[in-house]
């Protein structure tokens, strides 16, 4: 589900670099490469508020509103009853709905569910750190349900709202 960015090819993070992503995208290639055993700081700045279940065709903003959340996602307390059907096909069963997931490489197991912490009073900026377990391009997506039928993979992503900028910073060895 994650396809490497080819034009231009992904570049190693040597200082800091930024990529944008939308929560409606099944998996966003950042064009940024991380290296095994190196540590990185991720700063996520929400540029458009995040909602799961947004009704884009609804003209009344109150009726259009979905489940509001932040990069850490939400648990059963905010789930709607209809979401129970999607539980068994959620990408990461043990993680929150709509949690921001980082993935290193487009093959195998490389998912990272980071403990994002709010870094500003406005609630738009979040940070976390990680050490890469393998080398590869960094991908980003939100944890939502996925249908394993070609042409329908992203049907549960179409009602997602939100955008963010992801900055990856290489941390110097101490």
C-alpha distances (whole Å) from 119 to each of 43, 49, 96, 135 are 9, 16, 20, 28
Round to whole Å and give the CA distance between 71 and 73: 5
> In the prediction, which pLDDT does 108 show?
79
Checking if the pLDDT of 6 tops 70, the result is no
> In the prediction, which pLDDT does 7 show?
66
Round to whole Å and give the CA distance between 128 and 124: 14
Lowest mean pLDDT among 66-75, 90-99, 103-112: 103-112
Radius of gyration, alpha carbons of the chain: 16
DSSP codes, 22-60:
ETTSS-EEEEEEE-TT-EEEEEEEEEEEEEES--TT-SS
34, two tokens? 């991380």
> In the prediction, which pLDDT does 50 show?
93
Average pLDDT over residues 98-122: 91
pLDDT digits (tens, 9 = 90+) for 132-166: 999 999 999 999 999 989 888 889 999 999 999 99
Checking if the pLDDT of 104 tops 70, the result is yes
Lowest mean pLDDT among 38-42, 86-90, 119-123, 153-157: 119-123
Position 107 confidence tier, pLDDT thresholds 50, 70, 90: confident
Q: Which helix (H) or strand (E) holds 137?
A: strand 136-142
């Amino acid at each position: 589900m994650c396809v490497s960015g080819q034009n231009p090819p992904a570049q190693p993070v040597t200082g800091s670099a930024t990529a944008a992503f939308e929560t409606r995208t099944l998996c966003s290639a950042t064009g940024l490469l991380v290296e095994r055993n190196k540590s990185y700081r991720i700063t996520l700045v929400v540029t458009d508020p995040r909602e799961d279940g947004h009704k884009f065709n609804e003209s009344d903003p109150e009726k259009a509103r979905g489940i509001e959340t932040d990069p850490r996602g939400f648990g059963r307390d905010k789930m709607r009853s209809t979401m129970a059907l999607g539980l068994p096909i959620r990408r990461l069963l043990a993680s929150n709905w709509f949690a921001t997931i980082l993935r290193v490489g487009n093959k195998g197991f490389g998912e990272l569910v980071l403990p994002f912490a709010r870094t500003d009073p406005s609630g738009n900026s979040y940070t976390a750190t990680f050490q890469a377990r393998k080398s590869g391009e960094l991908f980003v997506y939100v944890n939502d349900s996925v249908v394993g039928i070609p042409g329908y993979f992203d049907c549960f992503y179409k009602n997602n709202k939100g955008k963010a900028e992801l900055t990856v910073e290489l941390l110097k060895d101490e």
